[in-house]
């Protein structure tokens, strides 16, 4: 496998070298921005090549800058336009020849006619010239040692701060850092918080709306006048009784067999109150001993309507939204009570709710569902400068 190492425009050579040395695989791809200043010179590219050789890692350069691609190629580094190409191809760095970068001019051809027959004379002349040049150089060096001021220079390398990410366990039950186990002490903090939120319901359901209405005929069984009061209950007798109430007080004239008509309305709304003729034939209470009842016409107008209702999914969704809101609120609240040098560990923040109240029940008609949560925001605070 090949490790992808992204570089930043302001990365220095030391930072790039550290990233190469920390690579986990034998081949790494340096994703280089066009304006990476450290690699804009042959010197920088040479140091990157040397870092790869020292670490024993093969590297390739991904960049769209033609000048940088050419510079990398001069130092034997494969170059690509995209990470996909670098991952797909098989590649290795090219070996650098000794004296890389120098150009060797071809030696001029020797003309045999230029060779003098008196070789000994030429050798003597050359020896005298060399002796003169050597003496001149000696005296120049002697003068330099005597006349040119000398100084001792001490070179101190500039420090480089390297940041390394590591995992550690924050534990509120310990008081000292355990470097071997990577444990750091933490402080548990909590504050009371509360919040409210609302959600528009979307699920529709048919619910009973208008009550059925009609009329019944009371037939008197005695010789005395009888009053049928408003609110008297009549009902069907088959199956589950459908109950109706008399909506206006009426009086049955005395005499067996006398009749009077009375208006009625179903006790329960909806189409269940729509019954056919002759279905209402019973009276509740003591009036059943004095009269008979019957409906000669069917009752009508009982119907339903579509309304939005609360569902369990609505409650879960609203609770999740409000909990996320309380987590943000709790983080800000706990940050405000930190001691100097402390910070909140974000993943440790939880909401311990002691009161969760919805204003509507499941299947209850409502256009808006409201929720209120009260509880405690709890988190762990650790020392920002703790050293493991």
**pLDDT tens across the length of the chain (388 residues):** 788 999 998 989 999 999 999 888 889 999 999 888 888 889 999 999 999 999 999 999 999 889 999 999 999 999 999 988 888 999 999 987 644 443 333 333 444 444 444 545 554 555 666 777 778 887 787 776 666 666 676 766 766 766 666 777 887 888 788 777 778 888 899 999 999 999 999 999 988 989 999 999 999 888 887 889 999 999 999 889 999 999 999 988 888 888 999 999 999 999 999 999 999 999 999 888 888 999 999 999 999 999 999 999 999 999 999 999 999 999 999 999 998 888 898 888 999 999 999 999 999 999 999 999 999 999 999 887 665 5
Distance CA 227, CA 12 (A): 105
**332 with 304: CB under 8 angstroms?**
no
In this prediction, residue 374 carries a pLDDT of 96
Tokens 């919040």 locate to: 195
Helices H / strands E in the chain, number of each:
6, 19
In this prediction, residue 102 carries a pLDDT of 36
234: nearest Cα among 174, 186, 185, 278 = 278
In this prediction, residue 179 carries a pLDDT of 75
Distance CA 155, CA 286 (A): 118
| Domain spans, the chain | 2-88, 183-202+309-383, 209-304
Residue 80's H or E segment, with its range, is strand 79-80
Distance CA 221, CA 260 (A): 12
In this prediction, residue 97 carries a pLDDT of 60
CATH classification (class only), 2-88: alpha beta
Distance CA 25, CA 58 (A): 9
CATH classification (class only), 209-304: mainly beta
In this prediction, residue 347 carries a pLDDT of 87
Structure-token pair, residue 246:
């008399």
Structure-token pair, residue 127:
């020896």
Q: Report helix, strand or coil for 358.
A: strand
In this prediction, residue 271 carries a pLDDT of 95
């Amino acid at each position: 496998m090949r490790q992808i190492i992204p570089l930043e425009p302001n990365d220095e050579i030391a930072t790039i070298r550290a990233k190469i040395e920390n690579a986990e695989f034998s081949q790494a791809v340096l994703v280089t921005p066009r304006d990476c200043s450290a690699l804009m010179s042959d010197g920088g590219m040479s140091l990157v090549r040397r870092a790869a050789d020292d670490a024993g890692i093969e590297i390739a350069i991904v960049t769209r800058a033609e000048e940088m691609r050419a510079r990398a190629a001069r130092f034997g580094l494969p170059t690509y336009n995209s990470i996909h190409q670098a991952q797909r191809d098989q590649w290795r760095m090219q070996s650098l020849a000794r004296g890389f970068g120098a150009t060797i001019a071809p030696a001029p051809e020797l003309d045999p006619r230029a060779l003098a027959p008196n070789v000994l004379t030429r050798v003597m002349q050359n020896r005298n010239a060399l002796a003169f040049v050597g003496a001149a150089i000696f005296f120049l060096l002697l003068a330099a040692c005597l006349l040119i001021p000398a100084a001792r220079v001490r070179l101190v390398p500039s420090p480089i701060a390297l940041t390394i990410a590591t995992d550690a366990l924050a534990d509120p039950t310990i008081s000292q850092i355990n470097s071997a186990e990577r444990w750091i002490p933490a402080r548990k903090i909590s504050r009371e918080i509360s919040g409210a939120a609302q959600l528009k319901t979307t699920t529709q359901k048919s619910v009973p709306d208008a009550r059925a209405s009609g009329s019944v005929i009371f037939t008197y069984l005695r010789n005395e006048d009888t009053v049928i009061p408003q609110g008297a209950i009549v009902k069907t007798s088959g199956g589950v009784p459908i109950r109706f109430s008399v909506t206006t007080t009426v009086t049955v004239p005395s005499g067996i067999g006398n009749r009077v008509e009375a208006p009625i309305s179903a006790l329960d709304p909806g189409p269940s109150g729509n019954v056919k003729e002759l279905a209402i034939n019973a009276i509740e209470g003591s009036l059943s001993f004095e009269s008979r009842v019957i409906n000669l016409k069917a009752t009508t107008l009982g119907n339903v309507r579509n309304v939005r209702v609360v569902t369990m999914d609505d409650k879960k969704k609203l609770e999740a939204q409000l909990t996320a809101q309380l987590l943000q609120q709790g983080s800000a609240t706990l940050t405000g009570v930190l001691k100097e040098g402390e910070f909140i560990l974000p993943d440790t923040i939880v909401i311990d709710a002691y009161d969760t109240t919805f204003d509507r029940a499941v299947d209850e008609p409502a256009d808006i569902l409201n929720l209120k949560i009260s509880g405690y925001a709890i988190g762990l605070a650790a020392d920002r400068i703790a050293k493991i």
